[in-house]
Structure formats: C-alpha cells, structure tokens
C-alpha cells in the first residue's frame, strides 16, 4: 500500500469538508485531524456494515472484538499485557474523563493539570465540579518541555487528587520515557494521588529512538493509581466515529467501574466499535506509512520555520502531529489570531492550552500544503 499524500490538496479536502477544512481559502492547521483520509481496512469494515444496513446496536461479539483488539494492540506494540476484560468502551476520551471524574475519584476532588495541555482539560473538570490546579511545565536549554515535578508535588499538597497526564503530549509533542514516568509516579504515590493517563496519541510516535510507554504498565504502583484512556481516533484519523477505551489496571477501580461499564459502552457508536477492531487489528501498515510521512513533515517543518519564521522557536516533536511553536518573540500580541487574519492559516492559540503567545500548528498535511502554509505565515511577518 502506498498512500498518495499529495492527492490530499486543500481543494480536495474542502470538497468533503470536516471541521479543519470548512472555510474557503483558509489552510487548516488547527483542529487535530489528519488530512490523509482513512485506512482502507477501516473504511472497508465500516462500509460493509453500512452496505448491509447493520447500523443498529452493536452485538456483544462486536464489542468484545474491539476490546480485544485494543488490548492486543497495546500488547504487541508496547508489551503491556492488559486483558480485554480490563478494557471498557465509551464514546471518546473526553467522555472517558468525565466517567472517571464522576465515578472513580471523590466528588469535587481537584485536578492537577500540567500546562500547556489539550484545551478542554483546562475547563472541562470544572464543569463536573472539579477545580483545576494548573502547573506550568519547564523547558530545558534545548527547548524540550518537561513536567515540573516540584510544582506537581505542591499542587497535590494543596489538595489535588487526580493528575491528567497527556502522553504523547498534546501540544508539546513529548513522548515520555520510563524514567520520567517513574519520577512522576513517585510524586503521585507519595501524595496518594491518581493519574488519568490520556494515551490517545500513542500510535503516533515519530522519533525512532522512542517508544510509547503506557503509564499504567510501568510498575505495580502506576497500575494501582492510573486509569488509562485510548482510542483509534488520532492514529487512524476517525475522531468522528466515537469510540474510545477506558482501561482499568487495578481491582479496586474494576469493582467500582463494573456497574457503570454498560452505560459507558452505550455511548460508543456501532461504526466506531467496528472501526476500532479493524484499526487495531489490521491498520498497522497504513499507520506505519502515515507515521513515516509525519516524521518527514516534522523535520521539514523545522527547516521551514528556520527559513520562513525567523525568531520563532521550534522543537521537533517526538510524537503526535502537533508542533508547539514558540511565537512569544513575534510582534503581534496574539500570533495565532494574526496568522488567521492575515495569512489565512488557522492554528490553535497557545492561550487556549494555557500558554499565551505560543502557537500550536498541526502538520498532518500534504507537504506542498505545509510549504504553502509556512510561506503565507512568513510573508505576513516580513
Ligand atoms: C490529547 C487529546 N486528548 C483527547 C482528545 C479528544 O479526544 P476525543 O475526541 O476522543 O474526546 C484530543 C483531540 O485532539 C487530544 O489531542
């Protein structure tokens, strides 16, 4: 299989618009979707159900296949052997978080959130009665982001109960290694805290020297305090299909979640459940090609930023398809707004991630489009 990446032109994408490509003459580099369509195995599985008119409630066997496929994928790719019985289905990762907030941590328990982070995490817990304690991350001399463990410790001591870990990290693109996760676990454990580990970007590790390490798989301590969320929606580019997995790694949570599990699964869609089994079981070759292309884009974007956007900081992400541009040195007060208004390139405003004046740029696009986006952004800065 060879994906024709160049065929995904802006015009072609606007013909069947998604949120990322729904405006004329605007390049979508904001919303976290990829421009590369869908794996043929996933499309075929969903098409079969559509053609058969079989879009009613899923069978227990279909749900079991999705749960087993998720467990199998983690086992094959990371060595985490979690049985399918510990994998629960729900609509999406944000729903998974709300289930955890409602059922697995005490009512009102404050959430510890390293920032920057995925935008909804800054506000969603508050809507469910959980205050958010933000902990700004730190960057080393090379521009590499790390979590501030002293700050996280202080937030737990100030009452925090559940840390949201995003790994691979949106927006900074870190893929944390075992040593970093162990260091974090020591802080969480010392405070009797819990971790919601959002691993939605796990299939998208770009740095060939890194591997995704599921937080709950690190040791018995992390398994005992973690609750993991996963989905095919980023790696296989089907966020509209609505099926995510909540993975429970300890007996106490398993017992507490048991009465909720049926209702959680009811929120997943039948096409999403079918696609989940197909992607995890058979979508490996498509994913490998996409990851290879994204790796090239991440390097190419570094060259483009150096040439087109002087003064902008770029650290090549280890995972995801998101670049976290340090645009604090640019003249416009609000760089993301400026690029939208003047270059017609839509990015994500760092302020929404908890870091004003930074800009998140989604580079999951055909390389000619990437060239065009950076040329436009460079032009308006000159
Ligand atoms: C880190 C992260 N978590 C969660 C989500 C949302 O996932 P879902 O659509 O499954 O709620 C996204 C979407 O971009 C994301 O990047």
* Ligand 1 centroid distance, CA of 94 (Å): 7
Low-confidence ranges of the chain (pLDDT < 50): none
Contact 324, 145 (CB under 8 A): yes
Ligand 1 atom, smallest distance to 92 CA: 10
* Ligand 1 centroid distance, CA of 368 (Å): 27
Contact 324, 169 (CB under 8 A): no
**Residue of the nearest CA to atom 4 in ligand 1?**
93
Q: Which CATH number fits domain 55-282: 3.40.190.10, 3.40.50.720, 3.30.565.10, 3.40.640.10?
A: 3.40.640.10
Ligand 1 atom, smallest distance to 169 CA: 1
> What is the model's pLDDT at position 141?
79
> What is the model's pLDDT at position 143?
78
Q: Which CATH number fits domain 5-40+284-381: 3.30.420.40, 3.40.50.300, 3.20.20.330, 3.90.1150.10?
A: 3.90.1150.10
- For ligand 1, pick from 70, 117, 234 the residue to mutate: most ligand atoms within 8 Å of CB: 234
- Rounded to the nearest angstrom, the gap between the alpha carbon of residue 182 and the centroid of all alpha carbons in its chain is 21
> What is the model's pLDDT at position 17?
87
Which part of the chain has CATH 3.90.1150.10? 5-40+284-381
* Ligand 1 centroid distance, CA of 229 (Å): 10
* Ligand 1 centroid distance, CA of 307 (Å): 31
Q: What is the dihedral of CA 37, 201, 31, 134, to 10 degrees?
A: 170
Ligand 1 atom, smallest distance to 170 CA: 1
Torsions phi, psi for 25 (to 5 deg): 60, 20
- Closest by CA to 198, choosing from 230, 162, 153, 155, is 230
Give CA–CA dist 250/240, Å, rounded. 30
Ligand 1 atom, smallest distance to 166 CA: 1
pTM of the model: 0.98
Tokens of 193: 């805290």
Q: Is the preceding peptide bond at 224 cis, omega within 30 degrees of 0?
A: no
Half-sphere exposure of 274 (CA within 13 A, CB side): 19
Contact 31, 20 (CB under 8 A): yes
Which part of the chain has CATH 3.40.640.10? 55-282
- Closest by CA to 96, choosing from 194, 192, 269, 227, is 227
* Ligand 1 centroid distance, CA of 309 (Å): 28
* Ligand 1 centroid distance, CA of 182 (Å): 24
> What is the model's pLDDT at position 1?
66
Tokens of 182: 């162990």
Residue ranges lining ligand 1, Cβ < 6 Å: 32, 92-94, 118, 166, 170, 198, 200-201, 231, 233, 239, 244
- For ligand 1, pick from 239, 242, 323 the residue to mutate: most ligand atoms within 8 Å of CB: 239
Give CA–CA dist 277/76, Å, rounded. 14
Ligand 1 atom, smallest distance to 118 CA: 1
């Amino acid at each position: 299989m060879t994906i024709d990446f160049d065929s995904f032109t802006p015009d072609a994408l606007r013909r069947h618009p998604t949120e990322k490509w729904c405006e004329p003459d605007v390049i979508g580099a904001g919303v976290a979707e990829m421009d590369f369509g869908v794996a043929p195995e996933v499309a075929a599985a969903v098409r079969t159900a559509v053609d058969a008119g079989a879009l009613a409630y899923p069978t227990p066997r279909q749900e079991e296949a999705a749960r087993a496929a998720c467990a199998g994928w983690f086992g094959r790719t990371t060595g985490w052997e979690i049985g399918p019985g510990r994998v629960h289905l729900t609509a999406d990762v944000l729903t998974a978080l709300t289930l955890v907030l409602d059922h697995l941590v005490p009512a009102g328990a404050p959430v510890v959130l390293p920032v920057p982070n995925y935008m909804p995490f800054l506000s969603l817990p508050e809507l469910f009665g959980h205050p958010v304690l933000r902990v700004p991350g730190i960057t080393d001399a090379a521009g590499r982001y790390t979590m501030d463990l002293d700050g996280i410790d202080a937030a737990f001591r100030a009452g925090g109960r559940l840390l949201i870990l995003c790994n691979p990290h949106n927006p900074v693109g870190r893929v944390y290694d075992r040593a970093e996760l162990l260091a974090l676990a020591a802080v969480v454990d010392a405070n009797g805290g819990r971790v919601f580990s959002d691993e939605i970007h796990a299939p998208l590790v770009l740095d060939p020297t890194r591997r995704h390490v599921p937080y709950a798989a690190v040791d018995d301590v992390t398994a005992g305090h973690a609750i993991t969320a996963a989905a095919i929606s980023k790696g296989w580019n089907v966020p509209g299909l609505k099926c995510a997995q909540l993975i429970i790694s300890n007996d106490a949570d398993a017992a507490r979640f048991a009465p909720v599990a049926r209702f959680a699964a009811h929120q997943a869609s039948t096409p999403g459940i079918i696609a989940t089994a197909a992607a995890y079981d058979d979508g490996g070759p498509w994913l490998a090609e996409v990851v290879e292309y994204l790796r090239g884009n991440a390097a190419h974007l570094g060259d483009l930023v150096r040439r087109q956007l002087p003064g902008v900081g770029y650290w090549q992400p280890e995972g995801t398809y998101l670049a976290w541009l340090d645009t604090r040195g640019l003249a416009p007060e609000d760089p993301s707004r400026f690029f939208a208004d003047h270059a017609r390139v839509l990015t994500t405003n760092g302020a929404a991630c908890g870091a004003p004046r930074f800009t998140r740029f989604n580079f999951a696009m055909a390389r000619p489009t990437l060239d065009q986006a950076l040329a436009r952004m460079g032009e308006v800065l000159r």
